[in-house]
């Protein structure tokens, strides 16, 4: 496993996303991932699977401290006390007394950023989380969160794949020592049959999924959390550290497209 170091913190480059994983499928996927060497797991209050994620981590043959665990506060919790209460509930479901990273899942236009960030900071001060961050915040929202947080914002978790390369936000994150965590790196499956990724895969003897994930993590300041419930795919998604795309190939792969980005989100919402 390779790591991205940000604010002197080492974050595994590849983690496991768990959106739309439920019950024993989720427990088995997290257990398999840890067994294969994953040390970074991403969940959220909204995924309804914190209990299964926690059980898999507890039953794993590695210590809790070895796993970088993220959860996210659902934005309907918008007051300080509601946020703190929800974090205690998350920790009870996860069966742990801390997470490594606590994010606010989405900006909430009717919540006061100052109150939200102060709740996350208090959760950190109380030892409920090691680090804090945000998700789905654009550059202005991220700046405002940074201004209102007592502690540094470790990451902004956003959609990031060849059709949504987030160039401006990534430039800002790099310049300000903020990690960009790439979600839906495979465009929720939309990158798997891409012609350019398939052609490059043939060159490197890799699958289109591997070329996509390599492209994602070859960006400085970026880690990613692909989701898979298949042992073969989980294994494949880790096997991306033995080849390097050229600068020209990196440019070729990035093709911003609102339609493909929208389709990725649409597939995610439909669960297909
Ligand atoms: P994704 O990781 O881009 O794609 C997942 C899809 O790709 C699944 O259908 C999976 O199927 C398939 N897949 C994975 N590896 C593969 C491989 N090697 N070959 C072929 N197919 C492969 O999509 P995502 O779930 O939307 O995003 C990943 C994670 O990001 C989520 O699980 C979640 O943790 C996070 N996320 C966060 C937000 C947010 O608002 N913060 C939003 C969306 C997602 P199999 O299971 O069959 O392998």
Residue 226 Cα, ligand 1 centroid: separation in angstroms?
5
Give me the phi and psi of 203, to 5 degrees please: -60, -40
The pLDDT of residue 43 is 98
Pocket probe for ligand 1: among 21, 26, 183, the residue whose CB has the most ligand atoms within 8 Å is: 183
Q: Quick one: pLDDT at residue 260? A: 86
> What is the rounded average pLDDT of the residues 16-20?
97
Percent of the chain with pLDDT over 70: 100
Whether residue 135 has its Cβ less than 6 Å from ligand 1 = yes
The pLDDT tens digits for 128-185 are 999 999 999 999 999 999 999 999 999 999 999 999 999 999 999 999 999 999 999 9
Q: Select from 141, 147, 144, 149 the least CA-distant residue to 123.
A: 149
Distance separating alpha carbons of residues 94 and 42, to the nearest angstrom = 12
Token look-up 């007592």 returns 150
Ligand 1 nearest-atom number relative to CA 43: 34
Q: What is the pLDDT of residue 264?
A: 80
At a CB cut-off of 8 Å and minimum separation 6, what does 86 contact?
Answer: 45, 73, 74, 77
Give yes or no for residue 188 CB within 6 A of ligand 1. Answer: yes
pLDDT at residue number 268: 74
pLDDT above 80: residue 197: yes
CA distance 195 to 257: 15
pLDDT at 266: 81
The answer, yes or no, to whether any atom of ligand 1 lies below 6 A from the CB of 28, is no
For residue 55, how far is its CA from the centre of ligand 1 (angstroms)? 21
Which residues are known catalytic residues?
A: 47
237 within ligand 1 shell (Cβ under 6 A): yes
| Mean pLDDT value across residues 254-258 | 93
Verify whether ligand 1 is closer than 6 Å to residue 268 (CB atom). yes
- Cα–ligand 1 centroid distance for 126 (angstroms): 32
**9-12 and 3-6 as β-strands: parallel, antiparallel, unpaired?**
antiparallel
Which residue has a Cα nearest atom 30 of ligand 1? 183
Domains of the chain: 10-188+220-229 (3.20.20.100)
- 227 Cβ below 6 A of ligand 1: yes
* Range in 20-24, 46-50, 255-259 the model is least confident about: 255-259
Q: Which of 233, 216, 138, 147 is nearest to 181 (CA)?
A: 216
């Amino acid at each position: 496993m390779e790591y991205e170091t940000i604010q002197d913190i080492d974050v595994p480059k590849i983690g496991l996303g768990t959106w739309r994983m439920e019950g024993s499928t989720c427990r088995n996927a997290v257990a398999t991932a840890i067994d294969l060497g994953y040390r970074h797991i991403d969940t959220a209050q909204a995924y309804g699977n914190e209990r299964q994620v926690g059980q898999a981590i507890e039953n794993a043959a590695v210590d809790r401290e070895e796993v970088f665990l993220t959860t996210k506060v659902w934005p309907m919790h918008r007051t300080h006390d509601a946020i703190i209460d929800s974090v205690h509930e998350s920790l009870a479901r996860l069966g742990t007394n801390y997470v490594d990273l606590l994010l606010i899942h989405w900006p909430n236009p009717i919540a006061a950023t100052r109150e939200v960030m102060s709740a996350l900071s208090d959760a950190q001060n109380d030892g409920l989380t090691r680090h804090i961050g945000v998700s789905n915040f654009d550059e202005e929202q991220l700046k405002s969160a940074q201004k209102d947080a007592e502690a540094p914002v470790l990451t902004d978790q956003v959609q990031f794949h060849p059709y949504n390369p987030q160039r401006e936000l990534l430039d800002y994150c790099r310049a300000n020592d903020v990690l960009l965590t790439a979600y839906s790196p495979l465009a929720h499956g939309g990158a798997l049959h891409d012609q350019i990724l398939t052609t490059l895969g043939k060159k490197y003897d890799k699958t289109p999924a591997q070329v996509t994930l390599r492209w994602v993590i070859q960006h400085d300041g970026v880690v990613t959390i692909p989701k898979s419930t298949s042992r073969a795919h989980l294994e494949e998604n880790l096997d991306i550290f033995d080849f390097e795309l050229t600068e020209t190939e990196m440019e070729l792969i990035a093709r911003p497209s609102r339609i493909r980005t929208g389709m990725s989100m649409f597939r995610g919402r439909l669960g297909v």
